[in-house]
Structure 1
Amino acid sequence: MSDVTSFLAGLSRRSKIKLQLISDAMLVIVSFFGAMALRLESFHFLFDIGILGTAFLTALLTLAVFKACGLYRALVRYVTGKVLVTVGKGALISAVLLYVSSLILDAGIPRSVPFMHAVLVFLTVGGLRFFARQFFRNPEQVGKRPVIIYGAGEAGLQLLNSLFHGRDYQPVALVDDNEHLQNLTIGGLHVYAPSDIERLAKSRGAKVILLAIPSMSRQRRREVVESLEDLHLEIKTIPGISEIISGKAKISELRTVTAEDLLGRDPVAPDPELLSHTIDGKIVMVSGAGGSIGGELCRQILTQNPHTLVLYEMSEFALYAIESELTEAAKRMGYQTRIVPILGSVQHARRLDMAIKTFGVQTIYHAAAYKHVPLVEENVIEGVRNNIFGTLEITRAARKHGVENFILISTDKAVRPTNIMGSTKRVAELICQAQARETSTTVFSMVRFGNVLGSSGSVIPRFSAQIEAGGPVTLTHLDITRYFMTIPEASQLVIQAGAMAKGGDVFVLDMGEPVKILDLAMSMVKLHGLTPYLVEDVAQIAPENGDIPICVTGLRKGEKLYEELLIGNNPSPTRHPRIMTASEVSLPMKDLAAVLDRLLAACTNFDLPEIIAIFHELPVDYRPSHDDISDLIWSEGISVPAQTHLKIVEAANS
């Protein structure tokens, strides 16, 4: 049967139309003979030349009518109920033509036959098309993967029609938790209850389930996915309703359900006044504009109608990418914002000074930082220079040129840090707090939050890549937990927090409940329709135990089992339900500056023990997870003779 399907599908368009014309001519003739047989209750008329002539003349004229009505312009496998209107018109006209032909040829056809003929033509010609459509849509005939659609509403119906026209998936059933829709037939498919999914998957051979409820809340989506995880089905979803409405995605653009879909919360509606307070009509700069957080901040800022948006970024490619994206978005949405890409590092004081002065910057979001814990642990000097002294330079430039608002993007890793990166971010907070204590027109504030979903270096993209590669998925500890938030929600909250600042504020975002990373890894494997299993060592991998092994590798350098958002336990609420403010210890600029001078000298001299000692001296509450210095150049230096070590240090200093 598949050979027949392949042969028919391989015919040229002209050959397919000829085949339809021949089959329709035969059906019209058969319909006429059938009507005559029903009326006369015999087949003696087959020997009447006049009746045979009438049949063939009617068939030719009916084909001409069908062609004029556009019946042969539609591909059979894509026909919809609209084709019945065309066939119905043609059948009625065919009845009239039959009557006229009978009079011309004096065939003596009974007056009831044309009406019966019209009904039979409608049923046979229309029915053949729907039979052919079903035949071509049969997944066994076209090699499509059978799928179950979860959601029988408007989105589900649109997806159903899209998939029928596509080449990849064949819908075999609809599922919906709405009892009023269950047991109905929608788009030619029966609607079942969610409890029937396992039975349907086995009986229909479905290995994929498609979620077609774009307006579903994250909480409800999480519940649905959790109920499906153990069925060994690959779970895919259509884009969210906002992406569909904005035109960023089509309903047929399916993707695998990701951890981001499940971990993110339903965001609280932003306060329009807070969103626009430090942006609307102003000149705004974002440092680190090409990064995960910096880029999303730029996207959110653009929607609030700034006069100018200055993108400050040291990576040429990242700057090019975000500038191109924002320029295209501004053009598409009709924004009048001027977008200015500036290539530069926050460590370059003169470059910062000129950029802020030239464009008259009024608001700065400082997102530029080295944030990958193991990398900063192994490159201490650059981490300190960028995160601490880069912050010092940009805050000095902001004060010097009277920037109205300065918002530092901080991290939960700054709270009782066990690593260099967290320590540098806490010192960056101390710098902003000290600047706020000085007489200044600039309002300095800090926003502290945890991991954001989908950011560069996040555990989720790494897990996804490992699963796609067949495993193993590497987990640092069975009990490790992290807070997660979507990048858009985090960026909106940062903007709103900055608008509430009075000076020296440390804002803390409500990150929700911490997530156990082991549970996250297990869920991600199951979302791909695979079975996970735990191993303590790569040598224990055994395919008979499951599809994807999860291997525990041990905590990385400087990594904590869990993160905190507060140093003290005294958060105060703000006007936004997911933003709190904390009172944290600070230093006056005079005292801090003296320590920073020593820290800069230690960096210049490549004196890592002194840098560590200064971190212990500052009110950072630095709690390293190990006593060894992990810096790669330092470690290499202490493993070679003293003379070579001296050369390495001199080279690093130069």
Structure 2
Amino acid sequence: MIRKVISLTRSQKTRLLLASDILLVPVAFASAILLQHDGGEGLVRALAEHWGFLPILMFAAGALSVMLGLSRVRLKDYAGGAIGRTAGLSALLGLFSFLLSGISENGMALGFHVVFALVYFVGYFLARHAMYWVLTEIYLRSHVVTRVAIYGAGRTGLTLATELRQHPQIMAYAFLDDNATLHGMTVNGLPVYPGVHVQKVMETYKINRVILAMPSVSFDKQSFISKRLEKLGVEVQTLPSFAQLLGGEELMGKLMPTGPAALLARDPLDEALSSGCAAYRGANVLISGGGGSIGLELCRQVLACRPAKLVLFELSELALYTAEAEMRLLAETVGCEIVPVLGTIADGVQVAQVLAAHRIDVVLHAAAYKHVPLVEMNARAGLANNVLGTAVLAREAREAGVKRFVLVSSDKAVRPGNLMGASKRMAELIVQDLSARSNRTIFSIVRFGNVLGSSGSVLPLFQGQIARGGPITLTDERVTRYFMTMQEAARLVLLAGSFAEGGEVFVLDMGKPIRIGDLARRLIKAAGYTVRDAENPNGDIEIVTTGMRPGEKLHEELMVRKGAQTTAHPKIIRVREDSLSEIEMAAALRDLREALEQGGEAAVIEVVARAVREYNPQSLPAEAVQMQIAKARKALEKPAE
């Protein structure tokens, strides 16, 4: 029965609706007479006197329904203009009834014709909605129809809901939205539920697909929502942007599956990195930079391990506020205490107080300035935070007896060509030095490549450029990078921290590096567009090469020395790196502090060049700086007298 109803052709459905419009006439006529007469005898007598009107009125109703296009309006599209046309049809039927009554011997009062028109309108409206309710109930029990919830009740979501009405095999049942002002409302004919009630919505409407229609929400938040939905067993798709509606293009053609596999050109490693919670369960964990992209994902995954306390240490008030709100919501199910701390890791007094007050067992250090051009142009701020801040946090962690300290590093620390990479390498050297002199704290370093969707990364940049209609800007077509998902990066940090023994540098086996140009083309294709170039001048999005940025390298590496070793996990590799002696490290930190106090960037860069001997700057502010670096390195090469 269900399959027969769903498989009806468009013409068959039109004839059924037309029959309903016609058969409603005698029902409305009899109801109007019943309202005008008392008792059954009056109803029978009035019907006997005026039954001759019915065939004419039924014919008129059918003709008007066809003329006004009401019989062709699908049940799920019956709203707004269609209701207005129904009012017009009802008024015309009342007028015809009045005219017929005027030429007959037994005329009826004007009030009867008004009541007849009103009853027909109300009956028509209720009949259409009753049939729509029956249809939705049939769809709920069907395996043929895709039942959809739209996450996001903004402009894009409303446009998508309207477009979904044109697809016979797709039925939209509800909106999900995190905006509290919309909860409980009905928008575009669909109820709006809070995002936290997604499981209830799925069970109520038997939803089997959720479409994310939230172009203004950050990529990492969309990834988090998508991950949560997929765990509930529902298919998730996403729309790149409302801007793609420009030019009249259909949104349905822009839907693409969420998940990183298509962009990474390899299978994601989430399942391969499924362990590592033992070191965090029941522990007090501090995450520096807890409001950043990586820090926030670390918070989510640490919470899944059920720690006793989670301390969010963050410099940005807005980022901390947002992170705390999300973590408190997630922590309700695991019984973890959430502690937000606003401050800087360079403040040794505050760091020591926080570590002692909350009896921290594990520190995951993800606080750093990471944008290459910005650090290149702001050397003092970048080095003060990334190097001296790490030194303060790591030293205080050792003094407080923290069990594990994990530094989140970058592939840019390998033979760095920019100050950001050099600052991360100095941070690694600091952790290696403290590890060699620590009996209680296990220090380790995790190094990985670009993270898809992190703030300032290439993915949201390209997505924004595509949403604006292009062009996509590349520094160089030859540039390659290692990529991983936010979930992979966070899981790697947790795993490495769980089985580190002290002083190791861990990297993830990420396969082959990806050309940025290829990534741009995949994104354009995934968004439903074509590349505009010499071979396809009528394409949608152009790719423009702008030239290398200051400090940028064509290719990144994950290790300097040969001889990587396997670990307890097949996808995680332990690499060996050179380190500085205790005296060399102390001298480098002393010289860096003095250079920062003096305020000269040239002196700061000179200190970096002495400490990070493989530093090979791709771009420097002045020739004098290069001369100072050459002089510093020459002095290092002289034998001691």
Tell me the TM-score normalized by structure 1: 0.61
Match of 2:271? 269
Shift of the alpha carbon at 1:25?
5.7
Counterpart-to-counterpart distance in 2, 1:314 and 1:238: 24
1:244 aligned partner, one-letter code: L
Shift of the alpha carbon at 1:611?
2.5
Match of 2:422? 423
Match of 2:603? 610
1:288 aligned partner, one-letter code: G
Counterpart-to-counterpart distance in 1, 2:494 and 2:538: 48
Q: Deviations over 1:213-245 (max 9, x none)?
A: 979xxxxxxxxxxxxxxxxxxxxx999985336
Match of 1:229? none
Counterpart-to-counterpart distance in 2, 1:164 and 1:479: 39
Matching residue within 558, 562, 575 for 1:569: 562
Change (3 A) 1:424 1:241: closer
Match of 1:492? 491
SS of the equivalent of 1:360 reads coil
Match of 1:402? 401
1:244 and 2:229 aligned: yes
1:77 aligned partner, one-letter code: L
Match of 1:302? 303
SS of the equivalent of 2:406 reads strand
Change (3 A) 1:173 1:413: farther
Q: Deviations over 1:269-318 (max 9, x none)?
A: 3666x522221111000000000000100010111111110000010000
Shift of the alpha carbon at 1:420?
0.1
Counterpart-to-counterpart distance in 2, 1:604 and 1:238: 42
Change (3 A) 1:629 1:348: farther
Change (3 A) 1:502 1:551: same
Shift of the alpha carbon at 1:427?
0.6
Shift of the alpha carbon at 1:575?
1.7
1:531 and 2:530 aligned: yes
Asked if structure 1 preserves the Cα contact closer than 8 Å seen for 2:149 and 2:209, the reply is no
Asked if structure 2 preserves the Cα contact closer than 8 Å seen for 1:417 and 1:620, the reply is no
2:453 aligned partner, one-letter code: G
Counterpart-to-counterpart distance in 1, 2:500 and 2:529: 48
Shift of the alpha carbon at 1:630?
11
Match of 1:370? 369
Match of 2:75? 77
2:229 aligned partner, one-letter code: I
Q: Deviations over 1:99-129 (max 9, x none)?
A: xxxxxxxxxxxxxxxxxxxxxxxxxx9xx98
Change (3 A) 1:320 1:577: same
Tell me the TM-score normalized by structure 2: 0.63
Asked if structure 1 preserves the Cα contact closer than 8 Å seen for 2:263 and 2:523, the reply is no
SS of the equivalent of 1:312 reads strand
Match of 1:178? none
Q: Deviations over 1:364-410 (max 9, x none)?
A: 00000000000000000011100000000001100111000000000
Counterpart-to-counterpart distance in 1, 2:160 and 2:459: 33
Alignment of 1:249-648 (within 5 A): 256-257=255-256, 260=260, 262-264=262-264, 265-269=267-271, 274-331=275-332, 334-534=333-533, 545-629=538-622
SS of the equivalent of 2:146 reads helix
Match of 1:12? none
Match of 2:62? none
Shift of the alpha carbon at 1:595?
1.7
Change (3 A) 1:365 1:240: closer
1:169 and 2:164 aligned: yes
Shift of the alpha carbon at 1:169?
2.5
Counterpart-to-counterpart distance in 1, 2:143 and 2:606: 63
Match of 1:14? none
Change (3 A) 1:267 1:588: same
Structure 2 unaligned blocks of 5 or more: 1-16, 30-43, 55-72, 78-123, 137-141, 152-157, 172-206, 211-221, 241-254, 627-641
Shift of the alpha carbon at 1:598?
0.9
Match of 2:32? none
Counterpart-to-counterpart distance in 2, 1:321 and 1:166: 29
Shift of the alpha carbon at 1:594?
1.2
Shift of the alpha carbon at 1:614?
2.5
SS of the equivalent of 1:277 reads coil
Structure 1 unaligned blocks of 5 or more: 1-16, 30-48, 60-74, 80-124, 138-152, 175-185, 188-211, 216-236, 536-541, 636-654
2:306 aligned partner, one-letter code: N
1:614 aligned partner, one-letter code: V
Asked if structure 2 preserves the Cα contact closer than 8 Å seen for 1:260 and 1:454, the reply is no
Counterpart-to-counterpart distance in 2, 1:391 and 1:518: 35
Match of 2:23? 23
1:337 aligned partner, one-letter code: C
Change (3 A) 1:558 1:154: farther
Asked if structure 2 preserves the Cα contact closer than 8 Å seen for 1:437 and 1:588, the reply is no
Match of 1:68? none
Asked if structure 1 preserves the Cα contact closer than 8 Å seen for 2:148 and 2:208, the reply is no
Shift of the alpha carbon at 1:490?
1.2
Asked if structure 2 preserves the Cα contact closer than 8 Å seen for 1:259 and 1:460, the reply is no
Seq. identity, %:
38
Q: Deviations over 1:185-219 (max 9, x none)?
A: x99xxxxxxxxxxxxxxxxxxxxxxxx9979xxxx
Shift of the alpha carbon at 1:471?
1.8
Bigger mean CA offset, 514-523 vs 278-287: 514-523
2:23 aligned partner, one-letter code: S
Shift of the alpha carbon at 1:440?
2.4
Change (3 A) 1:214 1:482: farther
Q: Deviations over 1:327-368 (max 9, x none)?
A: 01222xx22111000000011111111111111111000000
